[in-house]
Every structure is written in C-alpha cells, then in structure tokens.
Amino acid sequence: MVTVRSESNLKNATMNHDPFAWGRPDDNVYGKYNQSIAQAKNNELDAFPKMHTQQPIITGTSVLGIKYKNGIIMAADNIGSYGSLLRFSNIERIIKVGSETVVGVSGDISDFQQLERILEELVISEENYDNQGENNLRAPHVHEYLTRVLYNRRNKMNPLWNSIIVGGFDNDKTPFLKYIDLLGVTYGSSTLATGFGSYLAIPLLRKLIPDDKDYSNIEEEDAKKVIQECMRVLFYRDARSGEKFTLVTVNDEGVKFEKDVEVTGQSWEFAKNLVGYGSKQL
Amino acid sequence: MNSTVASEYSSEIHTTPIEHRFNPYSDNGGTVLGIAGKDFAVLAGDTRQVEGYSINSRYEQKIFNVGDDIVMTANGFAADGSALIDRFRNQLKWYKFDHNNKKLSVASSARYIRHLLYSKRFFPYYVSTLIAGLDDEGKGCVYSFDPVGSYEREQCRAGGAAASLIMPFLDNQVNFKNQYQPGSDGTEKKPLRYLELDEVLELVKDAFSSATERHIQVGDGLEIFIVTKEGVRTEYYPLKRD
Amino acid sequence: MFRNNYDNDSVTYSPTGRLFQVEYALEAIKQGSAAVGLASKTHVVLVGLKRNAEELGSYQKKLIKIDDHMGVALAGLAPDARVLSNFLRKQAMNSKMVFNRPLSVSKAVYSIADKAQQNTQSYGSRPYGVGLLVSGYDDTGAHLYEFQPSGSVLEYYGASIGARSQAARTYLERNLEKIRDCETPEELIVHGLNALRDTLSQDVELTFKNTSVSIVGKDTKFTTYDDEDVQQWLDKLDSVTNSTHRDEDDDEEAGDNAEDQDVTEDRMETDE
C-alpha cells in the first residue's frame, strides 16, 4: 500500500527543522522518538560528561638538574602531596634507567609509576636483543622514547601528567640533560628545573652557569653546592616541598644515589620579625 | 498541522557542567623568517624557547636541514613543530627509497606538507611552517603555511611570535611596499629587484635585533640557514638575553 | 617414481627430522646469482653478480639500502627480499623516530630472522625463498651477517650466498688475514670482486653492467655503486674473469657440484 502525499506537505510536516534535531522525524507527526532504542542518545544531558579530563592526584614537586664538567647532578625531594596535604614522605622520584642514565619525575605519582613500568619494560626488551653484551641504551635514547610516549598520550587527550628531566651522557660521551613534559614539549639546557623550581631554582642555577657551554668549567662540588642551595630555597618557599631529598650524581665513575640528604643551613631568623599578614618591619 | 521551521534554539543546553579540560597546546614563542633571493634562500629563527614568562632554553634548534637542500621550520607549539618536521623527514626518506634516490623539489615538499597539516585539520599542528630552498630553475624560494595546510610561495615571510612586528618591515624592505622613486612625488613605485645575500643577511639581523627589543619571547640567539647551489650552511649571531 | 610424503607443508617433520619445505627454501637461494660480503675491522663490503632474464632486459638489483648505516645483498627470490628489506627499513626508521639512534645491525637481522622462523612453524605459509647478507656499522663496530629463510643467523668476516658461491667462499678463506687487516675500503672492495669473479662460469666476466658494489663502515654511509660507477672498481682488478678457468687446471669447483645435489627431482629455474 502506498500513500501518496503532496510534496510540500511531505517536506514541511515530516521533518524536524530544529537545528539541534535537524532531519529527525517530526515529533508532532510520529510521536516522540524513543531514545532508549539501540541506545540512541540525542540529549547531551542524558550522558555523563565524557571522562578524559584529568588532574594530578598525588603529586611530586620540583626536580632539579645541572650539568658539570664530568657529568650531571639531579635532585628531587621525597614528598608525595595530596592537594595541599603532605601525604607521603618516602617517594623516590629519581630512577636509574639502564647503566648510565637517570630520570627524575615531577607531577602525578601514579603516572610516574606507570612510566617506571614502561621504562623497566624498555630496559628488559633492550637486554633481550643485546647479543654483544654492550649497553646501547643511553640518555638521548631514553629521552626520545619518553618524548614519544608523552606526546602520543597528549594526542589521545589522555596525558601522563608529569614533567621529566633525563640526565646522563650523550652519544659523544658529553653530559646530557633534557626536559620533557605532559604535552611532549622538550628542551635541553645546562640548568633545568621542573615545576616551582623553574621559578625559584633556575635563577640560582643560571648564576653558576650563565652560558650553556660554561658547564665544562664547573667542578662537581660547586654544582652540588648550588643544587643544595636551591633545595633549601625551595624548602623555604614551596609549600609542597620536603626537607629530605635524593641527590644523584652521574659521572664517568657511574651513577651515585645519595638518599635522605637533608636541607642544611636553614635560617629562620627572619621569622620572629613576621607579624600579621603584611611584610611590615617592626 | 502547525509544523513550522523552528526559529529558536529550543534544545540548546543552558546548564553545561563546567569542565576543566586538559589543554593539549602551549605556546613556546620564538619567531622565524624566510627570504628568497635570486639564487639563494635563507631561513632564520631565534633560538629561545619559552613557556609562559619563563625561558626554557636559550638554545633549542628549531630550523632543520631536512635533506635535499631543503630547510624547514615549524614555529609555535614546539611539540607539534618537531613532530611535523620528523614526519616530513621520514616521508622524504621513503620517497627516496621508493624513487631511486630522486631529489624531491621544494614545490613537491610544500604540497606534501599541506597534506600532513590538513590531515590534522580537526586537531591541528599549532605551528607556522616555513620551508626554503631553490626551485627547479635554481631561484630561491620560500613557502609558508598556516596551521591547517593553506600555503603559498612567497618572496619573504615572517612567522611566530614577532611575525606581526617583522612582516611590515619585510614588506617595505624586500618588496619595497610604500617606497617610491625619489622626485616622482609618490607617483612612481620603486622598481622591484632581487636583494643580494649580504643585504638579506643585514635585513635578517636588523629584523631579529628589533624583534628582540620589542617582544619578550624573542632573543638569546639568531640562527640563519642559507641555501645556495653549493648546499646548506648556517650562521649564528647572539641576541640580547633579557 | 620416488615421492616425498613429508614436503607438503613446512610444519611436518620427515621421519629423519628434516623440514623439507625449509630446505627447499634454502635451495631457492642457490638458484639466485652470487652475492659476497666481507668485513675488515672498520668496513663491510657487499658485492653481487646481477642477472638479466634476457639480453634486452634489465638486471635484477642485488643490493638494497636499509639506512645510512645498513644495507643488504640478496640471493634467491627478489620479491621476498623486497618485503624483508621494506620491513627492515621500517624498523630502522622506527628506531630513529622512537629512540633517536640507528638500529643496531644484530637487532635488525634478528628481527627478520624471527619473522622467517614464524613461517617455518605455521601451516599454510611459505618460508621466504631468499638469503640475505646484512652489512652494517653501529656502536659495536662493523658487522656482516648471513640471514637464512630457516630463521638462522650467523655473523661472518666473509660470507657468500647464491650460485657457485663455494668458489667465493674458498677465496675468502684463503685471504681471510688480508681481508681482516684491510686498511682502506678500496682494498676490501678488490678482495670482494676477486671473490665474486671466482663464482663466474666460463663464458661470463665481470662488467659494469652485471656487477654491484656497496660499502658501509666507519665514517662511511652505506653507498652502492652500479653501472658506470662500478667501472672504477673493476679497473683495479688484474682480470675480470674467473681465475680457475684462466689457470685451466680443471678441478671444476668440486664444492659447487656438491651443492647441486638437489633434494628436488625437477629443479625449476628460479629467475630471481
């Protein structure tokens, strides 16, 4: 059976012209469309907003890195914060990857642990095919790999919420220090810091090494001293920082981890002069 | 039957939940500039990389010799920039495998880069892309692209943070815009001519030192890639670091 | 007539523990023209003898570039080699892209060996009918590997595959010390061509048309020389014909006959 209708009637009567329901059968003609058929959803209010959005939960604060003439030094404290609550005080955020590379991670701790697993897998697969028994996985390779991981995750709008510093040696055995963040942005410098450190520590580090190439004149002890100074300044002013930190040195003798290093030489003299909310001096 | 064309947005949602979305982009500043000459082309850029008000690095390379005497840069969001350049480099390598080591022309490179950019039309590479080299006749050429692949060949183009500062200067100094023959009382335009390499290099240095003065994201160093029939060479000049 | 019941597929062992399909694949290599590879401490040279199907036809490529630091020579089914080398190119590119380092030669050759091995163990698939000599230079130095369709991989200082390759092998064995101590790539190429010319049959000589040369090594990107470019190397030889034929004392490559003892009854001419 075919019912013939006039064309104009067909055009006007059967289609919904509402811009948000364009082309749908008109409710007035066909009755309200049953949205539950085949899980069809029209009204966006029906659906819970799609969860891709995220924010870091437990976080680690700044990581610092500096080159010196024989290698690099990296430092990060051991705090894991839950918002403004200093929730954990035993988080180790600098890890060794391969035999001469270290990776320091700030930002979300669970994403850091995911990265730790990814890097562990990388090291194992590296050993699988390593017939010569030589270790070819060096800092630039780890850095490039992490860049790909983070950039691919940002492309999926599902980032690993971290800023990372990779330290070690370049292919030509010179010190290597480079940064990666959750967007996949990378850069290298003789002095690097993530998070709060990029405001508080970088100026102090750059005072020691004003020009990138000058790292080759810097002694280990001088580099270490300025890193310790930075950790102290960060402890004063970064509310999410801790008093204990890990200091890692990578040089031709290998990778040396110094754990539970404490911020030294603190002076709270000024504190007694602080009254009220302002910076008014008595 | 009272069905009419709906004129109001009846189902528009007014109670959208506030969503704190992850922002997949950032602006890493910096500026780039390409000028084509008679038998040469230059691509220049500063070497500073920033994020917000912080200087990430005073030297981060962003202009690359991608092979076949083509130089390329993609300025803006640094991660997208290097991803684009890496992708182009790989494609160029395959092109050579597939075509018996044939040289890829700058025009073909440009057309290919359009496709790379447009293929991400709805999640774009947030960059101003420039390539420079010599065309099939040996003349210098510069191609410029918008983030989604619209492109054209030009005599000169500035891109990135200080593009709006440099471009009018280039219009005036390279294409002689608003320049008239002396004594013609503004009736006779100054005739166009190709600039020599040393003139171009002076223009580039002036453009960047001026941009460094006026734009906070520009400075630290100037790297210039020069393409001639002899190949590609680079020059470096320090810029102010403040 | 004898009929082999154990060569219908590559997953069935014969009662004597052989996989005939895999062995036939190794035979396919011998149908191809010879390729020779040799390594000094710093460089690896590959040379190949190209064949053309007919007088007016073009010559089949023997050497394929994988990356700036790696290349292969093939003997056997050229289409199979193309598939494998394409795979290697992707691996090499991936290594550059993801790790910012060139693919190590051993990793490369084991990756195709794993692929080839899978074919020997899955029903309905055919083992690759091509052998490869893989040359490359990486962090651990200059390397020459032989890849076989069985999935086996061995590293060599000198190796040769393809028709009458035993003669080249004999040359390489006799001159191993000299080859290992080669100071310049030029010397290495000459040794390679010397070995290659020993695989020639009586009426053939090395010409710039049928000879391919490649080199890779320390500070030397993988480079191939074909056609006119190969003449410079041929000019360095004392002769472009097979030395055993020149000497006239005919022990007609005993080894070569041995490898012709074929498991198949009717051998097809595989024209690469």
Q: Are residues C187 and C272 in the same domain?
A: no
pLDDT tops 80 at residue A281:
no
Q: Vertex C228, ends C223 and C231: CA angle to 5°?
A: 85
Residue C9 within a domain = no
Pairwise CB contact (< 8 Å): A129 & C104: yes
Residues C44 and C86 in one domain: yes
Whether the predicted pLDDT of C266 surpasses 50? no
Chain C residues within 8 A of A144 when measuring between CB atoms:
98-101
B56 touches chain C (CB under 8 A): no
Quick one: chain B helix, strand, coil %, rounded to 5? Answer: 25, 30, 45
Helix (H, G, I), strand (E, B) or coil at C122: coil
User: How do residues C50-64 score in pLDDT, each as one tens digit?
Assistant: 999 898 999 999 999
Show residues of chain C in contact with A138, CB under 8 Å: 101
pLDDT of residue C263: 40
Rounded CA gap, C44 and A119, in Å?
34
A275 has a pLDDT exceeding 80: no
Closest CA to C34 of C54, C58, C60: C60
Give SS3 for C177.
helix
| Structural element, H or E, at residue A60 | strand A58-60
Number of domains in chain C: 2
Confidence of residue B2 (pLDDT cuts 50, 70, 90): very low
Q: Give the full edge-to-edge strand order of the sheet including B151-154.
A: B63-67, B70-76, B127-134, B140-145, B151-154
Residue numbers in A near B17 (CB within 8 A): 49
Preferred mutation among B18, B57, B120 to probe A, highest tally of A CBs within 10 A = B57
Identify whether C12 is part of a domain: no
Report the candidate in B174, B235, B237, B241 with the shortest Cα–Cα distance to residue B212. B241
Split at pLDDT 50, 70, 90, the class of B1 is very low
Higher per-residue pLDDT: B227 or C259: B227
Q: How many CB atoms lie within 10 A of CB B117?
A: 23
Residue with tokens 């092979």: B67
Q: How far apart are CA B29 and CA B47, in angstroms?
A: 10
Query: Tokens 């000198």 correspond to what residue?
Result: C158
Of the candidates C225, C165, C159, which has an alpha carbon nearest to the alpha carbon of residue C201?
A: C165
Three-state SS at C167: helix
With cut-offs at 50, 70 and 90, classify the pLDDT of residue C225: very high
Same domain, C44 and C151: yes
The answer to whether C61 faces chain B, any CB pair under 8 Å, is: no
For residue B87, the chain C residue with the least C-alpha distance is C97
**Alpha carbon B2 to its chain's center:** 57
Name the residue with higher pLDDT: C257 or C197: C197
Q: Find the residue in C nearest to A141 (Cα).
A: C99
**Amino acid residing at A119:** L
Q: Tell me how far apart the alpha carbons of residues A64 and A199 are, in angstroms, rounded to a whole number.
A: 11
Q: What confidence tens digit (pLDDT) does each residue in C73-105 have?
A: 999 999 999 999 999 999 999 999 999 999 999
Pair C218, C266 in one domain = no
- Is A53 annotated as catalytic? yes
Ranges of beta strands (E only) in chain B are 31-36, 41-46, 49-51, 54-57, 63-67, 70-76, 127-134, 140-145, 151-154, 156-160, 221-228, 231-238
Nearest CA to CA, how far is A70 from chain C (Å)?
22
> How far away is chain C from the Cα of B100, in angstroms, using its nearest Cα?
10
CB atoms within 10 A of CB A211: 12
Of residues A14, A53, A101, A174, which has the active-site annotation? A53
**Chain B residues touching residue A19 (CB < 8 angstroms):** 6, 9
Place of tokens 């390759």: C165
Q: Which two tokens stand for residue B41?
A: 């082309």
Q: Indicate whether C123 and C175 sit together in one domain.
A: yes
Mutation target among A67, A162, A183 for the B interface, most CBs of B within 10 A = A183
Look up residue A181 and give its two tokens.
């963040």
Question: Helix A109-128 to helix A139-155 angle, to the nearest 10 degrees?
Answer: 130
Contact A219, A69 (CB under 8 A): yes
CB contact under 8 A, C93 and B97: no
**Taking CB atoms and an 8 Å limit, are B97 and C97 in contact across chains?**
no
Within a domain: C36: yes
Q: Say whether both C99 and C74 belong to one domain.
A: yes
Confidence tier at B139 by pLDDT (50, 70, 90): very high
pLDDT given at position B8:
58
> Does B57 reach chain A within 8 Å, measured CB to CB?
yes
Handedness of CA A221, A222, A223, A224 (dihedral sign): positive
Q: Which domain holds residue C264?
A: 242-272
ipTM: 0.89
For residues C231 and C255, membership in a common domain is answered with no
In a domain, C15, yes or no: no
Q: Are residues C236 and C246 part of one domain?
A: no
pLDDT beyond 90 at A110:
yes
Taking CA–CA distances from B3, the nearest residue in chain A reads A13
Asked if the structure places residue C8 within a domain, the reply is: no
Give the integer Cα–Cα distance in Å for B15 and C175. Answer: 85
Residues of C with CB under 8 A from a CB of A: 97-101, 104, 106-107, 110, 139-140
The amino acid present at C160, given as its one-letter code, is: S
Contacts of C100 in chain A (CB under 8 A): 140-141, 143-144
Question: Does residue C260 have a pLDDT over 50?
Answer: no
- Reported as a single tens digit per residue, the pLDDT across C140-179 is 999 999 999 999 999 999 999 999 999 999 999 999 999 9
C270 and C235 both lie in a single domain:
no
CA-CA-CA-CA dihedral for C209, C211, C217, C223, to nearest 10: 20
- Hey, is the C-beta of A213 within 8 angstroms of any chain B C-beta? no
Name the residue among B163, B161, B141 with its Cα closest to residue B152: B141
Contact indicator for B215, B165 with CB cutoff of 8 Å: yes
Q: Are C130 and C182 within one domain?
A: yes
Question: In 10 A of CB A217, how many CB atoms?
Answer: 10
Asked if residue C57 is part of any domain, the answer here is yes
Q: What's the mean per-residue pLDDT of chain C?
A: 90
Instruction: Decide if C13 is inside a domain.
Output: no
Q: What pLDDT shows up at residue A16?
A: 82
Cα separation, B178 vs B165, in Å, equals 17
Q: Is residue C10 part of a domain?
A: no
Assign residue C233 the CATH number of its domain.
Answer: 3.60.20.10
The whole-number average pLDDT for the span A91-104 is 97
- With contacts defined as CB-CB under 8 Å, which chain C residues touch B90? 93, 96-97
* Same domain membership, residue C80 and residue C33: yes
My answer on whether C216 and C272 are in the same domain is no
Beta-carbon separation of B90 and C93 below 8 A: yes
Taking the C-alpha atoms of residue A54 and residue B42, their distance in angstroms, rounded to an integer, is 43
Tell me which of A52 and A239 has the higher pLDDT.
Answer: A239
Chain A residues whose C-beta is within 8 A of a chain C C-beta are 129, 131-132, 134, 136, 138, 140-141, 143-145, 148, 171
Interface mutation target, options C97, C99, C223, chain B, most CBs of B under 10 Å? C97
Give the whole-angstrom CA distance, residue A5 versus residue A23. 18
